[in-house]
């Protein structure tokens, strides 16, 4: 790939590793562009942040393709993952320790599936306090880190598919197809409440963004080889 081809625009599909931030992935690519191609000012960005504990598809746009970021961000997403029932954490995933436990003896397989079906369609969702949602010009996580009380407004999202793929209590595996702006961590919180218990997200993988699929994405270790292949 040549420097001119990169400037004209490229879309990279990256399978983001566990514990990497989306920024770290972009920064790695930026480093390659600067040192291998001497492109100091080329535009680069990603279409939809993944939390550090999440894995899966991250779309990275280079050059003129950065103009398409908003289009990709607006696309339908598909996720797979695992909820743990009977407990909650402040951030709704495993980033922070469990802060409360709840009974799960009353939870049956049928109740789990019926509850998942109740989330289908357009619903109101409140984003997590540990998120990048802006409130009065500040990120929600800035308030959370200072333990400041703040109201986060709900927003409309759309759940197209909520499939339960494995039940081995307290773990429940799922597959969700949803609209832009959906927080799977918030679904974990609300799913636990709907079951009259608690739940948090222990595993999350983004499988698809629009027509782009994780199975077609490359590992972080292969980015340099891909970009420098056939370089003149």
Catalytic residue, chosen from 51, 124, 211, 216, is 51
Measuring CA to CA, which residue among 71, 8, 103, 50 is closest to residue 214? 50
Active site residue 99: no
Residue 89: its H or E element: none
Residue 110: its H or E element: helix 109-117
Positive or negative, the CA dihedral 21, 23, 26, 27 is negative
Positive or negative, the CA dihedral 221, 223, 226, 227 is negative
Measuring CA to CA, which residue among 128, 169, 127 is closest to residue 145? 128
**Helices and strands (DSSP H and E) totals, the chain:** 7, 13
CB contact set of 105 (below 8 Å; sequence gap of 6+): none
19, 195, 88, 50 alpha-carbon torsion, rounded to 10°: 20
Omega cis (within 30) before 188: no
C-alpha distances out from residue 127 to 35, 86, 88, 140, Å: 39, 21, 16, 9
- Residues assigned a catalytic role: 51
């Amino acid at each position: 790939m040549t420097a001119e081809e990169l400037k004209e625009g490229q879309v990279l599909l990256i399978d983001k590793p566990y514990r990497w931030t989306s920024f770290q992935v972009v920064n790695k690519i930026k480093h390659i562009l600067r040192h291998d191609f001497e492109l100091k000012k080329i535009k680069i960005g990603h279409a939809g942040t993944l939390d550090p504990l999440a894995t899966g598809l991250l779309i990275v746009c280079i050059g003129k393709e950065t103009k398409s970021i908003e289009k990709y961000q607006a696309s339908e997403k598909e996720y797979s993952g695992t909820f743990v029932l009977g407990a909650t954490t402040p951030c709704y995933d495993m980033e922070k320790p469990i802060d409360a436990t709840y009974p799960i003896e009353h939870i049956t397989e049928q109740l789990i599936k019926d509850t998942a079906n109740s989330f289908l369609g357009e619903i109101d969702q409140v984003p997590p306090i540990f998120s990048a949602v802006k409130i009065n010009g500040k990120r929600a996580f800035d308030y959370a880190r200072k333990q400041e009380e703040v109201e986060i407004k709900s927003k409309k999202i759309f759940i197209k598919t909520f499939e339960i793929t494995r039940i081995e209590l307290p773990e429940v595996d799922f597959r969700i197809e949803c609209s832009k702006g959906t927080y799977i961590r918030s679904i974990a919180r609300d799913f636990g409440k709907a079951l009259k218990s608690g739940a948090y997200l222990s595993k999350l993988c983004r499988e698809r963004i629009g027509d782009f699929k994780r199975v077609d994405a490359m590992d972080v270790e292969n980015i340099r080889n891909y970009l420098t292949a056939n370089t003149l």
